[in-house]
Amino acid sequence: MAQLYYRYSTMNAGKSIELIKVAYNYEERGKNVLVLAPSVDDRYELGYITSRIGVSRKADMIDSDSNILELFMKKNREKKIDCVLIDECQFLKKHHVQELVEIVDSCDVPVLAYGLKNDFKNELFEGSYYMLVYADKIEEIKTICWCGRKATMVARIVDGKFVKTGEQIVVGGNDMYISLCRKHYNDGRLGED
């Protein structure tokens, strides 16, 4: 029985490399995967999922108007899809998550979605909210704060300063975001000094 998996964490926990590893494992066994990524994430080359450690793989890009179910059905007619993998699922819309549910429930194909849970203001993204609502399995991928505690928050850094205001979606990497434990997110400490 296929399930919808939501695997979340803060930044720098290895979500993209985990997705790439899962895709490799399926393909190594002769299975076909549909790998998706939101086009809003333009940190690296569009059409690819890229891990911070430099490993990448090709992905189909989706935007807010994309119909994932239709894309899946089209690709599945070309060759049987055994698994759907999605990076940066926090950028999905409600209808995207409902389309993923349909893939799982009607087509009996597992869907593994990787992404952030909360933004830099500690609020849920739309995609994260609906993944929490609809997912069959919710799994945390852990990483640590600079102090060694488990990181559960993402801080946005602008001009070297911790900010808690601004647009929810501003795509960036280590130059703009840091994962912190709740204590250091709340007190605004970005490091030992």
The beta-carbon contacts of 66-70 under 8 Å, at least 24 apart in sequence, are 66/96, 67/95, 67/99, 68/36, 68/96, 68/99, 68/100, 68/103, 69/99, 69/102, 69/103
CA 37/CA 114 separation, integer angstroms: 10
Active site positions, annotated? 88
Which of these, 85, 142, 81, lies nearest to 112 by C-alpha position? Answer: 85
Angle between helices 94-107 and 126-134 (to 10 degrees): 30
Residues recorded for the chain: 193
Q: Cα torsion at 128, 171, 59, 112 (round to 10°)? A: -20
